[in-house]
Amino acid sequence: MDRATIQDWTLTKVQLRLDVRREVKYQVYRENHKHFLEMCSADGQPIHTLELPDGMKLDRTSYEVLLRYVLLDVIAA
């Protein structure tokens, strides 16, 4: 299995609603030919791992936008 870190664990605060923020950590890695965004709570509890679609622009801003949408979806579930 070929795994490489693209962005190591990064701590960030994600704005979920006007008055609600959530602190999470995320990392981006490549495994074989696929890219993944893995997120967990600030204390290390896993939240979700998302496979990034081919051709997605890989930059920090894109990752943090994805975090918000995934967190909103996880919270709604």
**For the purposes of burial, counting CB atoms within 10 Å of the CB of 67, is it exposed (0-12), middle (13-18) or buried (19 or more)?**
buried
Cα–Cα dist 17/6, whole Å: 29
Range of the domain at 13: 3-76
Give the residue with greater pLDDT, 58 vs 45. 45
Taking only the tens place, the pLDDT of each residue in 3-24 is 999 889 999 888 877 888 888 9
Q: How many domains does the chain have?
A: 1
